[in-house]
Chain A
Amino acid sequence: MSSSGGKAGGIHAGERRFALALTVPGLLVLLLTTTFPLLYLIWSSFQTINLAMPFMDGFAGVDNYIQMWGDSRFWHSLKLTAIYTTSSVTLQILIGLGLALLVMQIPAGQWIFRIVAILPIVLAPVVVGLFWRTLMLSPNFGLVDYLIQLLGFEQVNWLGAPTPALISVIVIHTWQWTPFAFLVLLASLASLPPDVYEAARIDRASAFQRFWHITLPLLRPAIVIVVIIRSMISLAAFAAIFAATGGGPGTATEILNLYAFKTSFVELNFGYGSALAVSLLVITMVISGVLFYLRTARHKATAA
């Protein structure tokens, strides 16, 4: 088509030039602001860069990666990242979907839920982390602690003991982002065609059958998308944990993000911190690749 010459080719060539002129500034900025720093990160992961000991700086080869392989703190942070991401995303989907189905049944006042749900989403994660750390989870003065004792349970040092701290940061993340899943799923529930339900009702399908055989398959694309987005954001999570626990106690909530950050900015070991960040980058790429592949494979399967 494009090389067919004559007037049409001229128009297309002009269009291409115009399209390039429109995209080049944006892409150039992306190249400089994103790709260049990433290349720099990869380069520095093969260096010894320690601001505390600058005299040691120099080419390190794969030393940082060898160190990482034998670093139990790295494997621990990787495990925490996996637990944090899978559990918070699962909880978000389950609670979000349940809440969306529930709110759909309510005859009036759905708007209240929509307004309330938007609030956690627009708050800064660092503020959410701080609120929970102080007002909610602090021993003695926190609201959660008070309510738990009111119900007759033992006091729990939520952010001071390893397992409760991990549960807490997962709950905080789930609290902030379940409304996202809720709102997106509520919107797609509202857009489902009512006639399929009518047909099912005439067939005397039970409520559960209707959900399992009609609603869930129709919602699947939306659920898959929410899973993809939330997984990516969960893998990039930083501020809320940093504010709530700082990765502690010890390394109990130190997901890979925080480990890479602390290695660089607390221990000032930028070479090793870069290697940790590169591993995070690779993991994110692999997971997003798998999720997108599953999504398109599913699309093709349903289209065929």
Chain B
Amino acid sequence: MTAVMDAPATTDEIMTVVAARELNNGVVCFVGIGKPSTAANLARRTHAPDIVLIYESGAIGAKPTKPPLSIGDGELAATADVVVSVPEIFTYWLQAGRVDVGFLGAAQVDRFGNINTTVVGDYDSPTTRLPGAGGAPEISTSAGEVFIMLNHSRRAFVETLDFVTSVGFATGGNSRERLGLPGGGPSVIITDIGVLRPDPVTKEFTLTALHPGRTVEEAKAATCWDLKVAETVSKTAPPSSEELRHLRALVAGEVS
């Protein structure tokens, strides 16, 4: 299968490209499946060839040629610098502070970047039971910074989480430090509408960039709290033809 190269970028492609651009060359990146994994591999194929990908299944330095369906796909092990046990991944590598960037998705996020992946509704009689914590709580605790990726909607951007699975900036200000969490917390939320970053003092997430064709009004309408908007909202540069070429080749499992 040859990747289609001339179609305009989809929303998912824009999110993935934006996430990839956030990753500096050489960072150690703890990734999950889906857009985070694709973004990290796109970065590795473009501006960040020395990025190190760590998967919670134990693969360190994995270099998959196509997006894995599961976090333990054989190709991750086959292309890794080393494969270690799951206890080792979470202790020597994550807990000890050797991960620069962790990626998380969420069913719900609040204004301080706390996330819920456990349950919608009451814990004991849930409206929707979600998969649960996985590696997220300790990624949130110990990664140097956390990138959150999710679609922007009132169902997701809620005033109060139904369940706090992983801590962002807790109740804002310096409350994260007071909890004694060593990692830096979430530094960016990338949505299908734009990019949000925490206020340096209050730690409330603020809209700082919009993707092509999206508006501040759309972002506010898709957020349950009164979304703060930066004085200057930048425009996301559309994915370049180079970025799209690499991304589509990656998704198609081709060498680019």
Are A and B a genuine interacting pair, yes or no? no
